[in-house]
Amino acid sequence: MEQPPGVDADGYRIRPLELADLSKGFCDLLAQLSPSASLTEEAFRSRFEELAALGANHLVLVAEDAATGRLAAAGAVLVERKFIRRCGSVGHVEDVVVDAASRGRGLGERVVRRLVEHARGRGCYKVILNCTPELRGFYAKCGFVEKNVQMGLYF
Ligand SMILES: CC(=O)SCCNC(=O)CCNC(=O)[C@H](O)C(C)(C)COP(=O)(O)OP(=O)(O)OC[C@H]1O[C@@H](n2cnc3c(N)ncnc32)[C@H](O)[C@@H]1OP(=O)(O)O
């Protein structure tokens, strides 16, 4: 079926997060990443504006089901400005999630590839991320290779 401009063959529109997305299931998606309470409109707006102030150095992408208006996936990339590598930049991919009902159709890979493209377009010399061992295969499909060790210190 022919889709409107910006909508892929599966009927998803991948685009930057908008304020209206709070009512399109953004919190339901985030809850599939990590147990988290729903955000109030005020908390969402405040964080949205804080991130918007970072301009193209922080991008949250969502995939909207063009037929229902609900969000089916999300992911973010942060561009870190460094002194090393001649003041180079590194992209950090974070919080990639596809709604359980939309998995296995290539949507996660499409979102990750768009985030990587964004980082590359901002001049990053690499893109990195942390994930569980079970996700090695998924990120390998997205073009990533295993490198180094992840360490964490939680408060
Ligand atoms: C940096 C981070 O954010 S890590 C956190 C990642 N997010 C989560 O764990 C949240 C829960 N999981 C999810 O949301 C989804 O399962 C995701 C995002 C991991 C994958 O999304 P999907 O849309 O289902 O993946 P998609 O269909 O694009 O898969 C692309 C390819 O990777 C493969 N793949 C997907 N998941 C896995 C997996 N867990 N292990 C191995 N291969 C996988 C698929 O089979 C597919 O391969 P193919 O092209 O040969 O068919």
**CATH classification at residue 135:** 3.40.630.30
- Among protein residues, the one with the nearest Cα to ligand 1's atom 34 is 138
Contact 138 CB / ligand 1 (< 6 Å): yes
Whether ipTM tops 0.95, in short, is yes
Instruction: Provide the pLDDT for residue 141.
Output: 98
- Ligand 1 centre distance from Cα of residue 73 (Å): 11
Number of domains in the chain: 1
Taking the CA atoms of residue 22, residue 26, residue 31 and residue 32 in that order, the dihedral angle to the nearest 10 degrees is 170
pLDDT tens string 44-88? 999 999 999 999 999 999 999 999 999 999 999 999 999 999 999
- Ligand 1 centre distance from Cα of residue 135 (Å): 7
- Ligand 1 centre distance from Cα of residue 12 (Å): 17
35 φ, ψ (degrees, to nearest 5): -55, 120
Confirm whether 93 is domain-assigned. Answer: yes
**Structural domain for 90, as ranges:** 12-141
